[in-house]
Amino acid sequence: MSDLIEGYLGKRDDGTKSRMPAVLDRWQSITGLILGLFIIGHMFFTSSILLGKEAMYTETKLFEGSLFLDEPEPLLVGIAASIIFIIFIIHAGLAMRKFPYKYREYKMLKTHSAHLGHLDTTLWMVQAATGFAMFFLGSAHLWMMVAEPEKIGPYASADRIYTDNFGFLYALLIAMVVLHAMVGLYRLTMKWGFTVRKDPRAGRRRNKRLMWGAIVFFSLLAYSALGTYWEIGKAHQPDYGKRYIPQSQISAGGEQ
Amino acid sequence: MPKTKIMTTDRGEGRELTLEILKYNPRDPESKPHLATYTIRETPGMTLFVALNMIREDLDPDLAFDFVCRAGICGSCGMMVNGKPLLACRTRTADYPEGKIRLMPMPAFELIKDLSVITGQWMDRMSQRVESWIHSSVEHDISRIERPVDPDAADATFELDRCIECGICVASCATALMRPDFVGAVGLNRIARFESDPHDERTDADYYELVGDDTGIFGCMSLLSCEDHCPKNLPLQEKIAYMRRKLAKVK
């Protein structure tokens, strides 16, 4: 009954306003925070290739449960990717409520932003555009991780990036995700006043500096890693499909 | 687009200033929106308010714009100056080294003519929506001395009460421009003002009824243009975040 009343009247059955807008606003922020923090971890983990193939292999196996399973299980990564995919879809659904969805809204926003010269407004447009792009780019990447979690490793990932042409997708995705996530985390602190309670204006300046620092740092990190995978994939192309054999197993001649 | 070019014959000492100003009267079927160009000589300490009066006095008596106080107090002369909403009376022409200034009326508000808009209508709707008056069950005897208010609480309320309803926060806010039913920073600041006022007995749940939706506090996208353009330097960033935290907790 209350669903029917709220649907028609926008009120709860005690006559007060629906609390759903507050819930949606909160969950937009919570899912954004989870994804933002996840992507920071993700970029550090994928960049382990910069420390060498062995480091990346060891880390991959850790995520497959090598610490507590006799045989690492890629399904664990698939499950984690599925959870992230679900959070990603929820966040996209909640955030797109803010998009300019009529021509007049879009035109107003574009003109205003172009003439106002206000960085935070421009950055919001960047977030809307990168968010829209990630509907597609992020989904392609996430589905790959859900469907084939076993194909993660120094050679498997490099083969995907170079021979399977995923490198182009990732090159675009890195720019989108770094900008969207770092600007998003900055905006989150402004939206709720987190970390800036004592001196909101000084806190904003500091958080914006951190945002730019993070954008530069993670771009360099992620593109360096992508370049490294690209080079490995290029060298490994004749042996496409063969998996990396860790140092500890070379003498036994096993293949992972 | 028709373009009017008018030159002044004044050959004074100041540099030449070129002002492009929107000319349009939506009530005149013959009127077409266009940018008129006026060239004037800058005078020492010139503000846009002075420049506009000079243009109206010497070049175009038909030019419409609003002003009252000339001192940033009345909030009447808000306009888009090279895309930024500013008070004409507090904007010095010297701050535009290129000497080229484009003036447009503030969007979001109904246009009367040229640079003149009706902010009052918008503000009136906002005031009614947020019930911009003290809600108190206490009967006051005006012949007696008022009950004292804690000075810190009074200061906090007076700080937010400095809003002059100029409309600059609305004209600077992409959310308000895209969504005309958005309450704007001025409305959210007004809620924060009454929330801090010890005289007002309203609870967070009461405020939720007024602005607890996507046209209110949850519609704000934290672009912070209001904070960056407010001519009275009101703590909008802080207060909007504060109200969001409070209202998001309402059960």
Label residue A1 by pLDDT band (50, 70, 90): low
Q: Is there a contact between B85 and B77 (Cβ–Cβ < 8 Å)?
A: no
Mean pLDDT of chain B: 94
Query: Cα(B87)–Cα(B76) distance, rounded to whole angstroms?
Result: 8
Find the mean pLDDT for residues A44-48.
96
Distances (CA, A) of B217 to A17, A203, B180, B232: 14, 22, 14, 21
Label residue A251 by pLDDT band (50, 70, 90): low
Find the mean pLDDT for residues A232-256.
80
B242 to chain A, minimum CA–CA distance in Å? 7
Q: CATH number of the domain at B130-135+150-248, please?
A: 1.10.1060.10
Q: Using CA coordinates, name the residue in chain B closest to A193.
A: B241
Instruction: Please judge whether A21 and B218 are an interchain contact, meaning their C-beta atoms are less than 8 angstroms apart.
Output: yes
Instruction: Please judge whether A24 and B179 are an interchain contact, meaning their C-beta atoms are less than 8 angstroms apart.
Output: no
User: Is the confidence at residue B1, as pLDDT, over 70?
Assistant: no
Q: Is there a contact between B235 and B154 (Cβ–Cβ < 8 Å)?
A: no
Find the mean pLDDT for residues B104-113.
96
User: Is the confidence at residue A254, as pLDDT, over 60?
Assistant: no
Instruction: Please judge whether B244 and A191 are an interchain contact, meaning their C-beta atoms are less than 8 angstroms apart.
Output: yes
Site of tokens 């958080």:
A207
Q: Which of A10, A19, A105 sits opposite B250 (nearest CB)?
A: A19
> How much is the pTM?
0.92
Which DSSP helix (H) or strand (E) runs through A37?
A: helix A20-46
User: Is the confidence at residue B7, as pLDDT, over 60?
Assistant: no
Instruction: Please judge whether A200 and B172 are an interchain contact, meaning their C-beta atoms are less than 8 angstroms apart.
Output: no
Query: Cα(B165)–Cα(B78) distance, rounded to whole angstroms?
Result: 10
Find the mean pLDDT for residues A6-15.
89
Residues of B in contact with A112 (CB under 8 A): 83, 107, 174, 177
Mean pLDDT of chain A: 94
pLDDT score at B147 = 85
Give the mutation candidate from B129, B175, B209, B221 for the A interface (greatest A CB count, under 10 A): B221
B36 to chain A, minimum CA–CA distance in Å? 19
Instruction: Please judge whether A17 and B209 are an interchain contact, meaning their C-beta atoms are less than 8 angstroms apart.
Output: yes
Instruction: Please judge whether B107 and A108 are an interchain contact, meaning their C-beta atoms are less than 8 angstroms apart.
Output: yes
Instruction: Please judge whether B221 and A124 are an interchain contact, meaning their C-beta atoms are less than 8 angstroms apart.
Output: yes
pLDDT score at A72 = 87
A219 to chain B, minimum CA–CA distance in Å? 24
Find the mean pLDDT for residues A52-65.
93
pLDDT score at A2 = 80
B87 to chain A, minimum CA–CA distance in Å? 15
pLDDT score at B146 = 85
User: Is the confidence at residue B8, as pLDDT, over 80?
Assistant: no
- The tokens describing A34, both together, are 């989870």
List helix spans (H) across chain B: 48-58, 119-129, 151-160, 168-172, 174-178, 184-196, 204-211, 225-229, 236-248
What φ, ψ does residue B41 adopt, rounded to 5°? -95, 130
pLDDT score at B5 = 55
How many H-runs (helices) and E-runs (strands) does chain B carry?
Answer: 9, 8
pLDDT score at B3 = 54
Give the mutation candidate from A99, A112, A113, A189 for the B interface (greatest B CB count, under 10 A): A112
User: Is the confidence at residue B27, as pLDDT, over 50?
Assistant: yes
Residues of B in contact with A26 (CB under 8 A): 248
- β-bridge partners, B113: B116
- The tokens describing A175, both together, are 């720019």
Strands ordered across the beta sheet of B100-104: B4-7, B34-41, B16-23, B100-104, B78-81, B84-87
Find the mean pLDDT for residues A22-42.
97
Find the mean pLDDT for residues B173-199.
96
Instruction: Please judge whether A121 and B250 are an interchain contact, meaning their C-beta atoms are less than 8 angstroms apart.
Output: no
User: Is the confidence at residue B162, as pLDDT, over 80?
Assistant: yes
If one counts every other C-beta atom within 10 angstroms of the C-beta of residue A223, the result is: 16
A246 to chain B, minimum CA–CA distance in Å? 49
**Largest Cα–Cα separation, chain B:** 69
B214 to chain A, any CB pair closer than 8 A? The answer is yes
For chain B, domain boundaries: 4-116, 130-135+150-248
Where does residue B54 fall: left (phi above 0), alpha (psi -120 to 50 degrees), or beta otherwise? Answer: alpha
Selected residues 113-142 of chain B with any CB under 8 Å from a CB in chain A = none
Report long-range pairs for B2-9 (Cβ below 8 Å, ≥24 apart). B2/B32, B2/B34, B3/B34, B3/B35, B3/B36, B3/B37, B4/B34, B4/B36, B4/B37, B5/B36, B5/B37, B6/B36, B6/B37, B6/B38, B6/B39, B6/B59, B6/B60, B7/B39, B8/B38, B8/B39, B8/B40, B8/B41, B8/B58, B8/B59
Q: CATH number of the domain at A24-250, please?
A: 1.20.1300.10
Instruction: Please judge whether A115 and B83 are an interchain contact, meaning their C-beta atoms are less than 8 angstroms apart.
Output: yes
- The tokens describing B251, both together, are 């059960």
Residues of A in contact with B213 (CB under 8 A): 10, 17-18, 21
Contacts of A186 (CB under 8 A, 6+ apart): A207, A208, A210, A211
Q: Would you call B144 exposed, middle or buried from its count of C-beta atoms within 10 A (0-12, 13-18, 19+)? A: exposed
Find the mean pLDDT for residues B52-77.
95
Number of alpha carbons in the 13 Å side-chain half-sphere of residue A149: 17
A105 to chain B, minimum CA–CA distance in Å? 5
Task: Give the model confidence (pLDDT) of B191-223 as tens digits.
Answer: 999 999 999 999 999 999 999 999 999 999 999
Find the mean pLDDT for residues B224-244.
97
Q: Using CA coordinates, name the residue in chain B closest to A185.
A: B222
User: Is the confidence at residue A256, as pLDDT, over 50?
Assistant: no
Q: How many residues does chain B have?
A: 251
User: How many Cβ pairs closer than 8 A exist between chain A and B?
Assistant: 97
Find the mean pLDDT for residues A162-183.
97
B4-116 maps to CATH 3.10.20.30: yes
